[in-house]
Structure 1
Amino acid sequence: MKISVDLDKCQDHGQCAIAAPVAFRMNDEGILEYETSVDDAYLDEVEDAADVCPVQAILIDQG
């Protein structure tokens, strides 16, 4: 699956990093970093991360 984050919306809350650490992480400066491509086996975790994002900045493309 492909993941994208609208960095204009993202406020670096870090909830996604808790929900799906395989795809999202906070760097030493507290800024979100993420994988743009993740194995489909992690779909549930990534969907949970998108759901808990307070600003709904995460987009998932399964195509």
Structure 2
Amino acid sequence: MKITVDWDRCKSNGVCVAMAREVFRLNGEELDILQTEPPEDLREKVMRAVKRCPTQAISVEG
């Protein structure tokens, strides 16, 4: 699985961080992706973050 963020849409509101802290982090007012290709055991958390992103800025391939 590979995570992609549409940086034009992302507002760094932190919803994804709350869903998957192992993958996303807020660095001040900027979003960081800690793992662009997280392990399969994090899929459920990542998919929750994708679904709950208010701007639909996160997508997953694979």
Question: What range is the shorter-chain TM-score in?
Answer: over 0.9
TM-score normalized by the length of structure 1: 0.91
Structure 1: how far apart are the matches of 2:30 and 2:8?
A: 13
Q: Deviations over 1:19-44 (max 9, x none)?
A: 011110101x2210002110011100
Unaligned runs of 5+ in 1: none
Q: Which runs of 4+ in 1 moved over 4 A?
A: none
Aligned residue for 2:21, secondary structure, equals: coil
1:11 counterpart letter in structure 2: K
Q: Match of 2:8? A: 8
Structure 2: distance between partners of 1:40 and 1:60: 12
Matched-pair identity in %: 36
TM-score by length of 2: 0.92
How many residues align? The count is 61
- Structure 2 SS opposite 1:9: coil
